[in-house]
Structure 1
Amino acid sequence: MNAAINLNDSFLSNRRFYDDKNYPRGMSRSGDYSISEVQILETHGVALQEIANGTREPQTEAEIRFKGVCDGIYQAESKIEKTWLKYQNKVLTPRQFHTLFGSRKVDDDGDSAPAEDLDLD
């Protein structure tokens, strides 16, 4: 199938896509996406989400191919397919939590002791 997608008749929606749960300040301020990726998500995200989760039947060849990409049948080739998979990867993958504190403490003699063995009183 051809990876070129005509967005004039595919992925149409009457409202913009926002993900306030994962991006309360907006996707454009997150730093996760380029300007063009944010435009794709906000303009076509509602349709992409509905097609991906099966609440909307794909109507055009581009939408059918997109559904195949979401189902793992095809590799993502177009910008819209790659952008949706990137979005899915960002929101479905738990964010890493980093801390300056480790779970082990090094004693004066260089031995490490598990944190639960430490007397913190």
Structure 2
Amino acid sequence: MTNLAMSQESFSVDRNFYDDRNYPRGMKRSGDFTLAEAEYLERYGVALMALAAGTRLPVTEEEQHFVEVCSGNAAVSNTLERAWLKYQNIILTPKQFHTLFGRTKVEADEDTESDPDDLD
């Protein structure tokens, strides 16, 4: 992974990003992200969300590249962009539900019942 080296003006925000709806116990404790990814998302997530949604205009080269990555016009070049795309993929993909029981009850059809002694 590429280390993140960016200017002070890039992705500046005045508060941390928390997604209580999808991560009520925090991103660091979720197991979905590495500690570095969770740290980047918490520190810069407010700016990333605004840039991705178009409610904030990019002011630096790093922010412009991030917007291009989000629109699919550029390749991922650092951990911050990779973490954001991973976050988006996780929250937009429906959670799979696993159970030990089947979804429907299997019922034997009375017409196809056979006698165990009739087996070849």
Name structure 1 gaps, 5 residues minimum. Answer: 112-121
Structure 1 segments of 4 or more deviating over 3 A? none
The one-letter amino acid paired with 2:97 is F
Given the two structures, how large is their TM-score scaled by the length of structure 1? 0.81
> In 1, Cα distance between the equivalents of 2:65 and 2:37?
19
Superposition RMSD in Å: 2.1
Which structure's CA Rg is the greater one?
Answer: 2
Q: Which of 1 and 2 has higher RCO (CA within 8 Å, sep 6+)?
A: 2
After TM superposition, the structure 1 = structure 2 runs for residues 46-61 of structure 1, keeping only pairs within 5 Å, are 46-61=46-61
> In 2, Cα distance between the equivalents of 1:59 and 1:13?
13
Given the two structures, how large is their TM-score scaled by the length of structure 2? 0.82
Percentage of matched positions with identical amino acids: 50
Task: Give the equivalent residue in structure 1 for 2:67.
Answer: 67
What count of residue pairs does the alignment treat as equivalent? 108
Asked if 1:84 corresponds to 2:90, the answer is: no
Structure 1 residues 7 and 82, CA gap change in structure 2 (3 angstroms):
farther
Task: Give the equivalent residue in structure 1 for 2:106.
Answer: 105
> In 1, Cα distance between the equivalents of 2:86 and 2:7?
19
> In 2, Cα distance between the equivalents of 1:42 and 1:31?
15
User: How many angstroms does 1:100 deviate by?
Assistant: 1.1
Which structure has more strand as a fraction of its residues? 1
Asked if 1:45 corresponds to 2:6, the answer is: no
SS, match of residue 85 in structure 1: helix
